[in-house]
Amino acid sequence: MAVHLNLLLIGVLDALTEQQTNENEQLTPRKRTVEMFFRDLKDGVDLGEQWTLDRMAAHCNLGVTAFSKYCRELVNIGPMEYLNQCRLERAAQQLRTRPELSITEIAFANGFNSSQYFATRFSRHYKVSPSRFISESTNSGVKK
């Protein structure tokens, strides 16, 4: 019985060592966790959530210092700046594609606490106000 059990375990070990993995071997498990969290943010998952630096780090089971370090390694900016960048990109997409929503609704849906703060951040990032962005998107769509 012991011989059969050993043969079974050896077979399982062989199968596991031969199995192809799609993981990036240069990423540590902690860094990979942060990368996956950022991928979810980029895809728009939980952008409306009221994230803080502490909450993002805790979500990844890391301390704030380690989380910030991995963030800078992966995206070359701080975590809160990356979060705001993702929120602004998602909001710009919605401003183009969801004309039935008001600017305020889009701001709140993407985690901004006020439409004024959203407009300020949006104007700084895109060099145009949200309302002008909508009109320019609409006008460019007519020309095509």
Q: Which two tokens stand for residue 130?
A: 């949200």
Which residues, in sequence order, are CB contacts of 101 under 8 Å at separation 6+?
A: 94, 109
pLDDT in tens, the chain (144 residues): 878 778 887 887 777 777 654 545 455 788 899 999 999 988 877 777 888 999 999 999 999 999 999 999 999 999 999 999 999 999 999 999 998 999 999 999 999 999 999 999 999 999 999 999 998 887 765 443
pTM of the shown model: 0.72
Residue 24 confidence (pLDDT) = 52
Residue 12 confidence (pLDDT) = 79
Domain 83-134 sits in CATH at: 1.10.10.60
14: left (phi over 0), alpha (psi -120 to 50) or beta: alpha
**Where do the structural domains in the chain lie, given as residue ranges?**
83-134
